Amino acid sequence: MTRSAKHLLIVVLIVTGVVLGTAYLNRPKPVKVLVSAAEIGLVEQAIANTRAGTVKACRRSKLSPSTGGQIAKLDIHEGD
């Protein structure tokens, strides 16, 4: 291995170490959650879900190609 190749390898390793170290130190903190065990018991209160099955999008988008055209042929067959 030539001297310049060794220097290049060392520089690449140092840059990789700096990038990985920075990513490790700036990673997001874990979210704290409260966990409890399920228990067998009596149902004390029932809540009715009046919106069952209702879902609405927060944002809507319309997609269209930049140029118009028609599909001349679809090379697919039943079972593909």
Say whether pLDDT at 1 is over 80.
no
Tokens of 16: 């990789």
Tokens of 72: 């001349």
Q: What is the pLDDT of residues 21-77, one digit of tens each?
A: 999 999 999 999 999 999 998 888 887 777 677 778 888 888 887 788 888 888 888
Q: Give the confidence band of 7 by pLDDT, cuts at 50, 70, 90.
A: very high
> 30 — alpha (psi -120 to 50), left (phi > 0) or beta?
beta
The confidence score (pLDDT) of residue 8 equals 94
The confidence score (pLDDT) of residue 32 equals 93
